[in-house]
Structure 1
């Protein structure tokens, strides 16, 4: 597996991974409804902040990606997906490790994300990487806004959680 920076030419492949991974999330009860994927604008934001990497298999085909942006001197992981055919092989862990290493090298204070609290490859996985769940009274306004927006977009707020890792 090779992890490399994304180019705009990769955007369609990233969306295909995201749509395929949606079905894994659906099977876990984390999402429902019509699948959707990141827009060019969202992917470009991650790219502009230097936090958009793709994992490729031995053939050079994209099998996963991780995208984030800097907010409040923290890396915010906005999207991370691995194609179902490549899940449970360390791809997500390698992508997240690469993003966190880059954030540490930039001397950021840590990282945040929002995720499903119940699917084993979501919050429980992030906990193995050092993230901790934030209680409602610990949520910065930025994360509260993200969770509210996710609820407006149809994600079940009872399943959603914000997590943080301090370096």
Structure 2
């Protein structure tokens, strides 16, 4: 497996990965409804901030990606997906490690994300990487706003959690 920076030429492949991964999330009860994928504008934002990494199979075909942006001197992991055929093989861990290493190299203060709290490959996985769940007064307004937006698009607020890793 190779991890490399994405390019705009990867966008369609990244969306195919995201749509395939949606079905894994659906099976875990984390999502429902019509599958959706990141827009060109969202992917471009991650690319512009320097946080859009692609994991490729030895053939060169993309099998996963991690996209994020900088907010409040923190990396916000906005999207991370691994194609179902490549899940459980360390691809997500390698992608997240690459993003965290890049954020540390840029001297950011840490990383944040929102995820499903119940699917074992979501919050529990991020906890193994050092992220911890935020609640109450320690939940920044920015993350509270993201959780609200997620509820507005149909994600179950009882299943969602914001997490942070401080460097």
Q: TM-score, normalised by structure 2?
A: 0.99
- SS for the counterpart of 1:89 is coil
2:149 corresponds to 1:149: yes
2:108 corresponds to 1:134: no
Shift of residue 164, structure 1, vs aligned partner: 0.2
Shift of residue 137, structure 1, vs aligned partner: 2.0
Counterparts of 1:105 and 1:3, CA distance in 2: 17
Count residues with an aligned counterpart.
167
1:130-161 CA-partner distances (Å, limit 9, x unpaired): 00000122111100000000000000000000
Q: Hey, what does 1:69 align to over in structure 2?
A: 69
Counterparts of 1:7 and 1:99, CA distance in 2: 16
Segments of structure 2 that go 5 or more residues without pairing to the other structure are none
Q: TM-score, normalised by structure 1?
A: 0.99
Counterparts of 2:74 and 2:135, CA distance in 1: 18
2:30 corresponds to 1:30: yes
Q: Hey, what does 2:117 align to over in structure 1?
A: 117
- SS for the counterpart of 1:44 is helix
CA RMSD in angstroms comes to: 0.4
Counterparts of 2:141 and 2:132, CA distance in 1: 17
Matches within 5 A, 1:1-167: 1-167=1-167
Segments of structure 1 that go 5 or more residues without pairing to the other structure are none
Counterparts of 2:69 and 2:32, CA distance in 1: 26
